[in-house]
Amino acid sequence: MENSYLILKKVLLLLDVPFTKEYLKDQVASHPEQESLLTISDTLNHYKVDSLGLNLSVEKLDQIPLPCIIQIQENGHPYFSILTKAEIDSVDYLDEKGKIKNTSKEEFAKNWTGVTLLLEKSDKSGEPGFKARQQDAFVFRFLLFSLVLISLIGLLGFSQPIFVNQTHALIIMSLLLLKAIGLFISSVLLWSEVDKDNKAIKDYCTGGKNTDCNSVISSFSLPGGISLSIIAFAYFFSGVLFVLLSSFSGSGLHLLGYLTLSGVFISPISIYYQWAKIRKWCVLCLWISTVLLAEILLSQIFLVNSGSIQFQELTMFSFLFLGTVVAWLSLRPYLLTNKELQKQKSKLARFLSNTEIFEHFLSGSRSISNNPEGLGIMLNPDCSF
């Protein structure tokens, strides 16, 4: 699916045909033969883009309209690409990762199988229901942006931070920046639990032979399904909210200074566990360990003597931390179910659109022995005819 989806997305962009990514993914995923020229051709037909499959020689390149879809075979591995430019001595086409590659015609001819799909768009080309989906997406993004903006304004207005001096302000902003970075990394790590097939996360987390975030995360969890990902996310998320809600108070910063000491134990244990036990590395986990160590240095130098710990603030942080964990444990089953439902929906769509299965059942069904000429079908029993 990845190659077909990538090519279709790129070619629709090049042809300036409006589309939405999710709808395009559904179309490719529901096709019975995902990685084939038939998938690409049928999907383009759904977008009202005409296509014609040919087998050409390199001498015909200057006679065909561009862009067009071609098949490349490198190191015995075939994949579909897009030819974007053909000059006298060189050509431009997309490599397997979707990046433009310039090469000579002679080198190109060695890898090109000759399989070509010519394309032609019309005034009617486009995605069915595109405007309605765009409108829905715009409304959702607007509401989400408004919610975030109002929340930030409310938190900042409620906290009313008072900085002693510029150095104090710089320390607080540095702490918030570290927690925001940690929150982003832990969010990606947490989402990888739900979307294990996410291409962007997989490419980043499986860059080497001994690099695999999913293996590390799934190898350890606390009772109740509490994973390392949610612990990291809850720590950084509650930390950001706590800093804002506590009005940057000295006692609150003092509490955070002591909480960062947990990284003294967590980071070495995490690194040892990956190195000695699993023998695989989680890149995102290493980045979180780095952020924790940076927090330790910052807090132990500047924050440990900023005030005494207040019971109310300890209660507030505990509520935020535990509330985040409980919220995720409640939400995760629905996200996993929705992800599985999408997979089953794609499988069912591929089954229903498979012509070979239809022809198989048709061949086994009873045929009509009588002449059907003059046969009528009554749809309404009250019909007068």
pLDDT tens track of the chain, all 385 residues? 578 888 999 999 999 999 988 888 888 888 877 788 888 998 999 899 999 988 988 888 888 888 999 999 887 788 999 999 888 888 899 888 888 888 888 889 888 999 999 999 998 999 988 888 888 888 878 877 887 777 666 655 555 555 555 676 777 788 888 888 989 988 888 888 887 777 777 777 766 677 777 777 777 767 777 788 888 888 889 888 888 777 666 677 777 777 777 777 777 877 887 787 777 888 888 888 888 888 888 877 766 555 566 777 788 888 888 888 888 888 888 888 877 777 777 777 767 667 777 676 667 777 767 776 766 665 566 655 5
Based on the fold, state whether residues 246 and 293 are members of the same structural domain: yes
Report the alpha-carbon distance of residue 207 to residue 211 in Å, rounded: 6
Based on the fold, state whether residues 81 and 167 are members of the same structural domain: no
Task: List Cα–Cα distances, 148 to 153, 176, 232, 321, in angstroms.
Answer: 9, 17, 22, 20
Based on the fold, state whether residues 183 and 91 are members of the same structural domain: no
Report the alpha-carbon distance of residue 127 to residue 138 in Å, rounded: 17
Report the alpha-carbon distance of residue 235 to residue 253 in Å, rounded: 15
Based on the fold, state whether residues 39 and 185 are members of the same structural domain: no
Report the alpha-carbon distance of residue 58 to residue 89 in Å, rounded: 11
Q: Is residue 348 part of a domain?
A: no
Q: Is residue 330 part of a domain?
A: yes
Candidates 131, 149, 115, 171; CA nearest to 20 is: 131
CATH of the domain at 10: 3.90.70.10
Strand order in the sheet with 77-86: 50-55, 112-120, 68-74, 77-86, 90-94, 100-104
216, 281 contact by CB (below 8 A): yes
How many domains does the structure of the chain reveal?
Answer: 2
Torsional sign, CA 370, 375, 381, 385: negative
- 20-28 LR contacts (CB < 8 Å, sep 24+): 20/127, 20/130, 20/133, 20/134, 20/137, 23/127, 23/129, 23/133, 24/127, 25/1, 26/346, 26/349, 28/1, 28/4
Per the listing, tokens 């809600």 go with 245
Based on the fold, state whether residues 216 and 317 are members of the same structural domain: yes
Beta bridge partners of 53: 117
Q: Is residue 235 part of a domain?
A: yes
Based on the fold, state whether residues 98 and 177 are members of the same structural domain: no
Helix ranges, the chain (H): 2-14, 21-29, 37-46, 105-111, 130-159, 166-194, 199-205, 213-218, 228-245, 250-259, 262-272, 283-302, 311-352, 355-363
Based on the fold, state whether residues 273 and 327 are members of the same structural domain: yes
Range of the domain at 192: 160-340
3, 79 contact by CB (below 8 A): yes
Based on the fold, state whether residues 96 and 168 are members of the same structural domain: no
How many angstroms separate the first and last alpha carbons of the chain?
52
pTM > 0.95: yes or no: no
Residue 157 is predicted with a pLDDT of 57
Provide φ and ψ at 248, rounded to 5°: 55, 30
Mention every residue, 6+ apart, whose C-beta is less than 8 A from residue 365: none
32, 353 contact by CB (below 8 A): yes
Based on the fold, state whether residues 117 and 212 are members of the same structural domain: no
Residue 40 token pair:
């690409």
Report the alpha-carbon distance of residue 292 to residue 289 in Å, rounded: 5
Q: Is residue 363 part of a domain?
A: no
Most distant CA pair in the chain, distance: 97
Based on the fold, state whether residues 172 and 300 are members of the same structural domain: yes
CATH of the domain at 211: 1.20.1440
Based on the fold, state whether residues 71 and 201 are members of the same structural domain: no
Residue 44 is predicted with a pLDDT of 92
Residue 86 is predicted with a pLDDT of 87
Q: Is residue 43 part of a domain?
A: yes
Report the alpha-carbon distance of residue 159 to residue 180 in Å, rounded: 18
How many residues are listed for the chain in this entry?
385
Residue 248 token pair:
């940057």
Q: Is residue 153 part of a domain?
A: no
Residue 95 is predicted with a pLDDT of 85
Mention every residue, 6+ apart, whose C-beta is less than 8 A from residue 354: 32
